[in-house]
Amino acid sequence: MTATADIVSVLVPLAIEGTYSYRVPAGLALAPGDIVEVPVGPRSYVACVWDDPAEPIATSRLKSVAAKFDCPPLSENMRRFVDWVANWTLAPKGMVLRMVLRAPAALEPPAPQVGVRATGEAPERLTDARRRVLDLMDGGLAWTKRGLAEAAGVSPGVVDGLVAHGALELVELPPKPLFPPLDPDHAPPDLSDGQGEAAGHLRDKIAADAFSVTLVDGVTGSGKTEVYFEAIAEALRRRKQVLVLLPEIALTHEFLERFDRRFGARPAEWHSDQTPAMRERIWRGVISGEVRAVVGARSALFLPFRDLGLIVIDEEHDIAYKQEDRVAYNARDMAVVRGHLAGFPVVLSSATPSIESRNNADRGRYERIVLAERFNSGTVPRIEAIDLRREAPERGRFLAPRLVSEIERTLGAGEQALLFLNRRGYAPLTLCRACGHRFGCPNCSAWLVDHRFRGRLVCHHCGHEEPKPLACPECGAEDSLVACGPGVERVAEEVKARFPDARTLVLSSDLPGGVRRMRMELESVAAGEVDIIVGTQLVAKGHNFPELTLVGVVDADLGLANGDPRAAERTFQLLAQVTGRAGRAGQVGIGYVQTHAPEHPVIQALVAGDRERFYEYEIEARRDAGLPPFGRLASIIVSAEDRNAALAYARGLARVAPVVDKVAVLGPAEAPLAIVRGKSRFRLIVQAALGVDLQAYLRRWLALAPPPRGGLRVAVDVDPQSFL
Ligand code: ADP
Ligand code: ZN
């Protein structure tokens, strides 16, 4: 045997590029994918044996693998996925592995449950209570002690007594199945002709058992969910595991119930609100194959499925799929990569597909299925613009007279109205009338947002909070503070003043009570217990509100002009989604869009109900500008507490940028959010033509700069979604 045969390379979940080599202790056989415990410095880590050849280091200096976990290995395609994501995002491989090994305690098999079973021996003394217990044990089945005591109506001590007397014996119980089986044929729907055709198409994709991407592009309420459920059913029939990603935890509940009705049981639920114990069970169930379907947030993409056969990305255009910190990845794009590596179909679903996905479909890289009609001949809402330059609200108010009278009419008809404003809190800015002082965050270059319900001023970037003072801290004037501009709380105040008898509800992600309260409130809206909903983008996504017929967009210009190349797309998607909430149960819906720029192509396309016009306009604009998907972008943010240090480093970076054809480096410029959490931020943008290997360019470039030191941070984001 050669010396290296006893050495393995191990990827540790730390911010390091490559693998480390370890000695394999005698008696242990290790193969790539095995999950092991290894020492690094004074600590030990859960890590994974990798495929790279081990470094031939003098064996005497090597540390040994401490243990191998009793757990199935990470599959080959999962390991290639980790490599791929690291290569694409420029994140250290170890940090990507860390997203996979999220639930380390799950690596130990669950502790066996102990139960009791009758031995057939009679106890010395047969009391009434004892008899009741033994009668229950007649079938020879094993029981948990607690379950038995409860069923027999005795104290646990009685059961213990019977064990002590030899009438019962302790046995190991098989683990309780946490994830009941899913039945693909539990309750299939009657699909419309168009839906049936779409479902058939997806079933064929599953049957082909090969990589493909299908974009299900259908108006809200057309039955996209029903249709992709048929793909899930087919995958389950073929004994494949299924993953569905949703952009928002608040949506999960409705989805779970729907899934339950269709498949006779719930899927496993993976998101940050899940208990650690449950996350462990799911992780283990996913790698062992016991869990057949998972619905979750973007991080579920890194679960180590044993035999994944389908990923569905619902609301594929949603920005929530992009993670910005640590490993900057887009779960939608990486899901396609995972499908490609493992050879299974991926389904993207949206009423307002991203420009990227639409372009991929136009070019034949993805297939596109169009569901043009609402189910049950529901009509798509009509949309009208309200030109705020001509129909201005009264002073200090935010709803134009026409919108107010339309709300009145809606309430009169016993229907619901939704007012949408994508801004949490009461007012985005507070200033002193006497001296002009504005309340800014001490840590960020951002104004503090007045949250009047809580009586506090809050920074939406770092979370800094302070009580709202009675007097101006600058000039001491009392009662001089004024709120500038609206947030949802302020719109709600106006609604309550105008419609005192209506039942008004504010829905915003930061209200106390968390997901639980939000779910209850969404249910009360669905049940018709609310007349007017005032909400942020939370209400734009996927909920079915049957009584809702009017949607008012308070400020459609928010987000249209902020220097973000995707601003038009985002605005269109958000407005189309939110106005699409109107009139889903057969009634005719109408959307009013308040704007200062009714001539803007986004507003024009919305009002004309002409999605195609928007896509044509926006795709053309991106092509002209060489922006994604017709060019490639990366952003580099250099940040440090010391502004000069950050700027100097960013300038130095720009100076050493390799000059290459078809690559332009812009900046450094102060980021729009110039200071966050006390750190000054400078941004460089790399714009490249499509054929350029952007990652290779970035690697070559970053290697030329001195390593960032002393609190300096360099964050690379390939294909950035946010430009703040
Ligand atoms: P989308 O995902 O496109 O917004 P959904 O799948 O949520 O559409 O369908 C909208 C509503 O119509 C849901 O309440 C759904 O249950 C109902 N629906 C759609 N298709 C059918 C069908 N074939 N049979 C019964 N109900 C359907
Ligand atoms: Zn702040």
Dump pLDDT digits (tens) for 244-287: 999 987 667 889 999 999 999 999 999 888 888 888 889 999 99
Q: Which helix (H) or strand (E) holds 716?
A: strand 713-718
Topology match between the domains 193-374 and 632-718: no
* Residue type present at position 722: S
Q: HSE-up of 91 (CA within 13 Å, CB side)?
A: 24
What pLDDT, on the 0 to 100 scale, is given for residue 311?
98
At residue 139's C-alpha, the angle toward residues 137 and 142, to 5°, is 60
Distance of CA 102 to the CA centre of its chain: 16
From 191, 215, 225, mutation site for ligand 1 pocket: most ligand atoms within 8 A of C-beta: 225
111 contacts: CB under 8 Å, gap ≥ 6: none
From 352, 375, 379, mutation site for ligand 1 pocket: most ligand atoms within 8 A of C-beta: 375
Distance of CA 30 to the CA centre of its chain: 35
- Residues 78, 48: contact at Cβ < 8 Å? no
Q: Tell me whether strands 429-432 and 532-535 are parallel, antiparallel or unpaired.
A: unpaired
pLDDT tops 90 at residue 96: yes
Concatenated DSSP letters for 689-708? Answer: -TTS-HHHHHHHHHHHSPPP
What pLDDT, on the 0 to 100 scale, is given for residue 716?
96
Average pLDDT value for residue range 412-423: 92
Which ligand neighbours the alpha carbon of 216 most closely?
A: 1
Taking residue 297's Cβ as centre, other Cβ atoms within 10 Å add up to 22
Ligand 1 binding pocket includes 370 (Cβ within 6 Å): no
What pLDDT, on the 0 to 100 scale, is given for residue 119?
85
- Residues 669, 717: contact at Cβ < 8 Å? no
Q: Which is nearest to 84 in space by CA: 339, 433, 446, 376? A: 339
Residue 321 CA to ligand 1 centre (angstroms): 24
Ligand 1 binding pocket includes 192 (Cβ within 6 Å): yes
Dump pLDDT digits (tens) for 223-239: 999 999 999 999 999 99
Which atom of ligand 1 is nearest to 190's Cα?
A: 23
Which atom of ligand 1 is nearest to 219's Cα?
A: 3
Band of the pLDDT at 296, cuts 50, 70, 90?
Answer: very high
pLDDT tops 60 at residue 107: no
Dump pLDDT digits (tens) for 447-488: 999 998 888 999 988 889 999 999 999 999 999 999 999 999
Which atom of ligand 1 is nearest to 351's Cα?
A: 3
Concatenated DSSP letters for 59-113? Answer: GGGPPBP-EE-SSPPPPHHHHHHHHHHHHHHT--HHHHHHHHS--GGGGSPPPPE
Tokens 């609310």 — which residue?
A: 530
- d(CA 2, CA 22) in angstroms, rounded, equals 15
Residue 584 CA to ligand 1 centre (angstroms): 10
pLDDT tops 80 at residue 4: no
Residue 534 CA to ligand 2 centre (angstroms): 26
pLDDT tops 50 at residue 1: no
Dump pLDDT digits (tens) for 513-524: 777 787 788 888
Which ligand neighbours the alpha carbon of 189 most closely?
A: 1
- d(CA 515, CA 221) in angstroms, rounded, equals 24
User: Omega before 629 cis (within 30°)?
Assistant: yes
> Of the CATH numbers 3.40.50.2300, 3.40.50.300, 3.30.230.10, 1.10.3720.10, which one belongs to the domain with range 193-374?
3.40.50.300
- d(CA 350, CA 267) in angstroms, rounded, equals 21
CATH superfamily of 7-101: PriA, 3(prime) DNA-binding domain (3.40.1440.60)
Residue 672 CA to ligand 2 centre (angstroms): 14
Average pLDDT value for residue range 661-676: 90
Which ligand neighbours the alpha carbon of 246 most closely?
A: 1
- d(CA 439, CA 435) in angstroms, rounded, equals 12
Residue 112 CA to ligand 2 centre (angstroms): 48
Which atom of ligand 1 is nearest to 225's Cα?
A: 6
Residue 374 CA to ligand 1 centre (angstroms): 8
Least confident segment among 388-397, 558-567, 626-635? 558-567
- Residues 378, 503: contact at Cβ < 8 Å? no
Ligand 1 binding pocket includes 577 (Cβ within 6 Å): no
- d(CA 577, CA 537) in angstroms, rounded, equals 9
- d(CA 636, CA 655) in angstroms, rounded, equals 14
From 226, 373, 380, mutation site for ligand 1 pocket: most ligand atoms within 8 A of C-beta: 226
Ligand 1 binding pocket includes 350 (Cβ within 6 Å): no
Ligand 1 binding pocket includes 221 (Cβ within 6 Å): yes
Least confident segment among 37-41, 110-114, 508-512? 110-114
- Residues 372, 219: contact at Cβ < 8 Å? yes
CATH architecture, domain defined by 378-423+486-622: 3-Layer(aba) Sandwich (3.40)
Residue 17 CA to ligand 2 centre (angstroms): 33
- Burial class for 674, CB neighbours closer than 10 Å (0-12, 13-18, 19+): middle
- Residues 664, 686: contact at Cβ < 8 Å? yes
- Phi and psi (nearest 5°) for 607? -65, -40
What pLDDT, on the 0 to 100 scale, is given for residue 272?
82
Least confident segment among 102-111, 195-204, 466-475? 102-111
Which atom of ligand 1 is nearest to 191's Cα?
A: 23
- d(CA 248, CA 632) in angstroms, rounded, equals 28
Q: At what angle do helices 224-237 and 193-208 cross, to 10 degrees?
A: 30
5 contacts: CB under 8 Å, gap ≥ 6: none
- d(CA 223, CA 374) in angstroms, rounded, equals 7
537 vs 232: which has the higher pLDDT: 232
Ligand 1 binding pocket includes 325 (Cβ within 6 Å): no
- d(CA 513, CA 50) in angstroms, rounded, equals 44
408 contacts: CB under 8 Å, gap ≥ 6: 499
Ligand 1 binding pocket includes 580 (Cβ within 6 Å): no
Average pLDDT value for residue range 47-56: 88
What pLDDT, on the 0 to 100 scale, is given for residue 103?
64
Ligand 1 binding pocket includes 224 (Cβ within 6 Å): yes
Ligand 1 binding pocket includes 189 (Cβ within 6 Å): yes
Which atom of ligand 1 is nearest to 220's Cα?
A: 4
Averaged pLDDT score across all residues of the chain? 90
75 contacts: CB under 8 Å, gap ≥ 6: 33, 304, 305, 306
Band of the pLDDT at 298, cuts 50, 70, 90?
Answer: very high
563 vs 452: which has the higher pLDDT: 452
- d(CA 665, CA 147) in angstroms, rounded, equals 68
pLDDT tops 50 at residue 372: yes
* Residue type present at position 541: K
- pTM for the structure as a whole: 0.85
Concatenated DSSP letters for 445-487? Answer: SSBPEEETTTTEEE-TTT--EEEPPSB-TTT--BS-EEEES--
Ligand 1 binding pocket includes 254 (Cβ within 6 Å): no
Residue 221 CA to ligand 1 centre (angstroms): 6
Dump pLDDT digits (tens) for 577-592: 888 877 766 677 899 9
- Class of the domain covering 632-718: alpha beta
Please state, for a pLDDT cut of 70, what percent of the chain lies above it: 95
- d(CA 301, CA 321) in angstroms, rounded, equals 10
Tokens at residue 603, please? 């507003």
Q: What are the sequence ranges of the domains in the chain?
A: 7-101, 113-173, 193-374, 378-423+486-622, 425-485, 632-718
Ligand 1 binding pocket includes 581 (Cβ within 6 Å): no
User: For residue 572, what is the DSSP state?
Assistant: H
What pLDDT, on the 0 to 100 scale, is given for residue 2?
41
**Cβ density class 363-401: b for 16+ within 10 Å, e for less:** eeebbbbebebbbeebebbebebbbbeeeebeeebbbbe
Average pLDDT value for residue range 630-634: 95
Which ligand neighbours the alpha carbon of 459 most closely?
A: 2
Which atom of ligand 1 is nearest to 542's Cα?
A: 4
Residue 443 CA to ligand 2 centre (angstroms): 5
Distance of CA 574 to the CA centre of its chain: 16
Which atom of ligand 1 is nearest to 227's Cα?
A: 6
What pLDDT, on the 0 to 100 scale, is given for residue 185?
97
Mapped onto helix, strand or coil, the DSSP state of residue 23 is strand
What pLDDT, on the 0 to 100 scale, is given for residue 209?
94
pLDDT tops 60 at residue 106: no
